[in-house]
Chain A
């Protein structure tokens, strides 16, 4: 069965520090993977998707099929990055979301 795991519930870093939010998935085929973000008092919104291979707000994520991972990275965290981040997998018209990681960027 497909599964998305985000091992960290909370990640606290200082402003300017690198950040990596971990996401591991279980799926044997070629998954479509996404990162969604929810800022305080805002709706859940797409941050990036692996097939577009783009960088949004300085975030990147590389799909590693060997390690079945799709970690989200940013070299220098900003306070406005503080939010809830969800990794998600799409397969055969179904979405699977992880339980989320709360990123707290301290000044």
Chain B
């Protein structure tokens, strides 16, 4: 059983650019969640995908979007980057039924995004 992986590890972008972050879920997990973690803060929930459909979203603008693929990988896309988007982005996979209880989330190591 392989763990959750994320790529790239670090990324530097400039304001206004677009970025795509990638996550490979644990095998068999049908749910992936993405989080933004600013320095000194707890993870802030961006959205959750279940079987390739977004089924939960936090308080983030539409320029944050995602995709989940049948092979358990997923992407977080952020358009029109702002300085405040600089943070650690975490993905977490779990095995969960739609609308059901939360199962254990397995977190990736994160991608550190710096926006200049």
Contact = CB atoms under 8 A, between A and B. Distances in A.
Interface of A: 4, 6, 32, 34, 43-46, 49, 51, 86, 90, 92-100
B99 A93 contact: yes
Given A34-B102, A45-B107, A46-B104, A99 B41 contact: yes
A44 B107 contact: yes
A95 B45 CA distance: 6
B99 to A, nearest CB: 7
Interface string B101-112: 110111111000
Contacts, number: 54
10 interchain residue pairs of minimum CB distance = A93-B56, A97-B42, A90-B102, A44-B107, A95-B45, A99-B42, A97-B43, A94-B56, A43-B107, A46-B104
B57 interface: yes
Interface string B58-74: 10000000000000000
A4 B56 CA distance: 18
A34 B90 CA distance: 17
B45 A96 contact: yes
B48 interface: yes
